[in-house]
């Protein structure tokens, strides 16, 4: 159940559709803005009328901060019209599983459940991961009337170093059981994850050496996954400072006589301004090289989000990133 060969043969010039599936896992190296992009996708989807659920996998995360809303728990909370958010809790996921699938309402309410869960989770690797993925897959199957409850579920998933283990948990446990209830449960999870029309994985990177390297490594590691890798969002792309004609003028200002003449006109030192401009140009050109490497080694659709020169994140910044994503998708 591996859809990656199809993903790897995708046309890298084709548009990256972030809203065309029901379940979107968002990953990336820490510090690349993974949560920012996940929040912006949720904001964009809700603004277009999609009933959207954002899932925070890390209990220490700050996904609702991007909407200036208090943190939420395991039960979905509507944080803006059309947009709900929840924070994963594997103990609550186990409790819900016992109630729904095993009809063990009384057991799920006993005091030592947390101790039992910790014992089982520590003894059997993959239990916490499968409870996380299982809850998300379950939410993707819920219906209201004839329609799915959620048009889109955006998962602020584990970072690149842990995402393979998280998404591969159903397949790993599936291999241990040929028949029985566990096999039945992991089979339906894998069906949800492996459907390329329903589920996809999105990587967030920045045009820097380590994030690009980890993205390339993850691209190859996804050969073991059921989930299709849809593409990459390159975040914090610096704008081009000069046009070609302007750059020629800027280069001529490197001459000492030209600087002196310009300073006599403006009546102030220009060298600090020119040094800052040189630094901006250098950073831009360095990052362009990282983007070229990423495009050459990861032949998948990509979109680019400009660097936002803002001091803090919140509703305004989230909307700006959502607008940038919409522009990249031609919406």
- Pick the residue with more confidence: 315 or 273? 315
Phi, psi angles (nearest 5°) of residue 261: -65, -40
Report whether 29 contacts 160 (CB < 8 A).
yes
User: Which tokens hold the place of 228?
Assistant: 């299709």
Banded model confidence at residue 60, pLDDT cuts 50, 70, 90:
confident
Q: What is the CATH number of domain 4-239+288-329?
A: 3.40.50.300
Report whether 130 contacts 166 (CB < 8 A).
no
Domains of the chain, by residue range, sit at: 4-239+288-329
Tell me the per-residue pLDDT of 61-75, one tens digit each, with 9 for 90 and over.
889 999 999 999 999
Phi, psi angles (nearest 5°) of residue 236: 60, 50
Spell out where 178-306 has E strands: 199-205, 229-237, 302-306
Tell me the per-residue pLDDT of 223-282, one tens digit each, with 9 for 90 and over.
888 999 999 999 998 876 666 666 666 666 666 666 677 667 776 776 676 666 666 666
Report whether 10 contacts 196 (CB < 8 A).
no
The secondary structure of residue 17, as a DSSP letter, is: -
Percent of the chain's residues with pLDDT above 70: 73
Q: Which of 17-21, 53-57, 117-121, 182-186 has the lowest mean pLDDT?
A: 117-121
Mean pLDDT (whole number) for 217-222: 93
- Pick the residue with more confidence: 83 or 126? 83
Percent of the chain's residues with pLDDT above 90: 50
Question: What is the CA angle 235-20-327, rounded to 5?
Answer: 45
Q: Enter the pTM of the model.
A: 0.82
pLDDT score at 234: 95
Mean pLDDT (whole number) for 169-173: 82
Q: Look at residues 236, 214, 246 and name the one whose alpha carbon lies nearest to residue 303.
A: 236
Q: Look at residues 93, 76, 94 and name the one whose alpha carbon lies nearest to residue 85.
A: 76
pLDDT score at 201: 97
């Amino acid at each position: 159940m591996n859809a990656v060969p199809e993903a790897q043969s995708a046309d890298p010039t084709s548009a990256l559709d972030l809203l065309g599936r029901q379940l979107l896992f968002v990953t990336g190296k820490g510090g690349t803005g993974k949560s920012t992009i996940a929040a912006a996708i949720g904001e964009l989807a809700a603004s277009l009328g999609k009933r959207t659920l954002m899932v925070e996998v890390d209990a220490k995360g700050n996904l609702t901060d991007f909407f200036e809303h208090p943190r939420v728990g395991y039960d979905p909370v509507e944080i803006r019209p059309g947009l709900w958010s929840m924070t994963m809790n594997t103990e609550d996921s186990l409790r819900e599983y016992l109630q729904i699938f095993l009809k063990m309402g009384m057991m799920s309410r006993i005091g030592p459940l947390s101790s039992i869960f910790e014992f089982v989770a520590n003894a059997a690797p993959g239990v916490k991961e499968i409870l996380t993925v299982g809850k998300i897959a379950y939410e993707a199957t819920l219906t209201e009337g004839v329609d799915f409850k959620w048009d889109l579920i955006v998962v602020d998933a584990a970072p690149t170093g842990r995402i393979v283990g998280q998404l591969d948990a159903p397949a790993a446990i599936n291999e241990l059981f040929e028949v029985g209830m566990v096999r039945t449960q992991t089979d339906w999870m894998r069906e949800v994850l492996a459907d390329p029309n329903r589920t996809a994985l999105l990587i967030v990177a920045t045009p820097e050496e380590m994030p690009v390297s980890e993205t390339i490594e993850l691209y190859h590691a996804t050969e073991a996954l059921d989930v299709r890798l849809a593409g990459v969002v390159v975040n914090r792309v610096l704008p081009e400072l000069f046009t070609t004609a302007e750059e020629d003028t800027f280069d001529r200002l490197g001459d000492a006589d030209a600087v002196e003449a310009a300073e006599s006109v403006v009546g102030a030192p220009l060298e600090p301004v020119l040094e800052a401009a040189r630094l901006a140009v250098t950073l831009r050109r360095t990052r362009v090289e990282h983007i070229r490497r990423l495009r050459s080694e990861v032949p998948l659709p990509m979109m680019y989000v400009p660097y936002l020169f803002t001091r803090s994140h919140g509703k305004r910044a989230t909307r700006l990133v959502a607008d940038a994503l919409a522009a990249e998708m031609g919406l």
